[in-house]
Structure 1
Amino acid sequence: MNRKPVELYVYGAEILCPSCVNLPSSKETYEWLEAAVSRKYPNQPFVIKYVDIHNPPEEESVKQFASRVVEEDMFYPIVLLEGKIVGEGNPRLKTIYSELEKYGYKAV
């Protein structure tokens, strides 16, 4: 495979978003998404990172988006795929898979 791995970011917080009370936590969503993508697209590398919106890393673009999530009261977790929002609150695998396939990922 000669392409650069797609980057997925899961933005969230330890405390559940008020509208997401019966949903998995952001961290659980991150772990679930990592496992699901690995199963669906084995041997097709991708990078997935979890970002705590209240304590983001120093990387400026990541920090700015984390601030945006807080300021705009977005439903988290928010999944970004190559900078595009592909899931908010309760992300759907079908949507994420569809976006990955635009980058050449093939389901096995």
Structure 2
Amino acid sequence: MNRKVEVTIYGAEVLCPSCVNLPSSKETYEWLEAAISRKYPEQPFTISYVDIHQPPENQAKQQFAQRVIEEDMFYPVVLIEEEIVGEGNPKLKTIYAEMEKYGYTPA
């Protein structure tokens, strides 16, 4: 593995209109953190949740949060190293494939 990958989940407290029967953004964040940790044990990564309506002071995160709102993206939006890998109902297979591009090896 080359380096610690950053996974960022952008979402909101309220479900997006097209995501009514799906888990909340926060639930998706928790689920992904657990799933990635199980798939790649003892392989460090960072994962963070960004509320699109109250983003942190980080300018890049603020800009992407604004983009999610302006482009009416389905949230949660999952990024790995600034690459969108899932929207609305992210697929583990796609996320795992992206992680493995960075040298992560499944358990």
TM-score, structure 2 length as denominator?
Answer: 0.98
Once the two structures are superposed, residues 39-79 of structure 1 have per-residue CA deviations (whole angstroms, 9 ceiling, x without a partner) of: 00000000000000000001000000000000111000000
The answer (yes or no) to whether the contact 2:12–2:25 under 8 Å persists in 1 is yes
In structure 2, what is the equivalent of residue 53 of structure 1? 52
In structure 2, what is the equivalent of residue 77 of structure 1? 76
Tell me the matched-pair count. Answer: 107
1:97 and 2:96 matched: yes
Q: Which segments of 5 or more consecutive residues in structure 2 lack a partner in the other structure?
A: none
4+ aligned runs moved over 6 Å, structure 1:
none
Identity in percent:
73
Shift of 1:16: 0.2
> Aligned partners of 2:99, 2:71: CA distance in 1, in Å?
26
> Aligned partners of 1:26, 1:5: CA distance in 2, in Å?
23
> Aligned partners of 2:4, 2:100: CA distance in 1, in Å?
12
Q: Which segments of 5 or more consecutive residues in structure 1 lack a partner in the other structure?
A: none
For residue 74 of structure 1, give the secondary structure of its aligned residue in structure 2: coil
For residue 11 of structure 1, give the secondary structure of its aligned residue in structure 2: strand
1:68 and 2:30 matched: no
Matched AA of 2:42: N
In structure 2, what is the equivalent of residue 33 of structure 1? 32
